[in-house]
Amino acid sequence: MRVTNSMLNNTSAKSGIALNESSLLNYIDNDSSDDELLASLQRGKTEKNKEKKVGFEKLEEASEQLAQKALQFFMQGEGSLFEKAKESGNYEQVWEKAEALVNDFNKLLKELGTTSTQLEDYYKKMLVESAGGSAEALAQIGITQQKDGTLKLDKEKLKAADPETLEKVLGKDGGFSARVTLIAGRIAANAQANVESLSSRYDASGNSWSAAMNKYDFWG
């Protein structure tokens, strides 16, 4: 089959590599153009990698924020969120951080929706299920899960919940915060590894992954 300008231009359009006024066929007929063609292909690959890197950087940031928010509810003892509220009798901070937790949960779900890897799809499913498994308990404090997996907060119902219920649902014994902390931490570690890989700094031996995971190893 004879390769025509039309065929090559159609292929170019599908690949996303723009051609200038000279046809790709003319380039092929000119041996001196090989380097230019390779350079063009490499530029296209580099741009795609840059876009992927930006996406993983946003994913890492969103997952780290969620892990930090969830961890505040998971922690116990002196100086912890619930202990401070008990001592002062003021639960304003608990309410504010619960709202932030819901917002960061939804933000991370959105960021996971922009990626196309099987691992990110798996993590998205895990994150949605982390809330679904605590749906009944979360509803007691005004947090409900929507059809798309995101969370919706009823602030009035949250503030009307008694302190014991708040701690039972969002604290360590509730399980929700612990699951979210773990899942978000794993997502952040995976995103960090992808950023490093796309930056050509990733250690193929897996050292980068291990170092990243250690940041979120809250259980020793």
**70, part of any domain:** yes
**How confident is the model over 56-86, as pLDDT tens digits?**
899 999 999 999 999 999 888 888 999 999 9
**How confident is the model over 168-177, as pLDDT tens digits?**
999 988 889 9
Confidence (pLDDT) at 205? 38
**199, part of any domain:** yes
**41, part of any domain:** no
Whole-prediction pTM value? 0.71
Please check whether residue 169 is in contact with residue 215, taking contact to mean a CB–CB distance below 8 angstroms. Answer: no
**17, part of any domain:** no
Q: What is the mean pLDDT of the chain?
A: 79
Question: Domain limits at 145?
Answer: 60-214
Task: Quote the tokens at residue 40.
Answer: 């063009």
**How confident is the model over 20-53, as pLDDT tens digits?**
444 445 544 555 555 565 555 555 556 777 788 8
**162, part of any domain:** yes
Confidence (pLDDT) at 49? 73
**25, part of any domain:** no
Please check whether residue 8 is in contact with residue 23, taking contact to mean a CB–CB distance below 8 angstroms. Answer: yes
Residue 9 — very low, low, confident or very high, per pLDDT cuts 50/70/90?
A: low
Q: b/e map of 47-61 (b: 16 or more CB within 10 Å)?
A: eeeeebbebbbbbbe
**190, part of any domain:** yes
What's the total number of domains in the chain? 1
Cα–Cα distance between 174 and 135 in angstroms, integer? 11
Question: C-alpha distances in angstroms, 150 versus 58, 98, 136, 190?
Answer: 18, 14, 15, 22
**6, part of any domain:** no
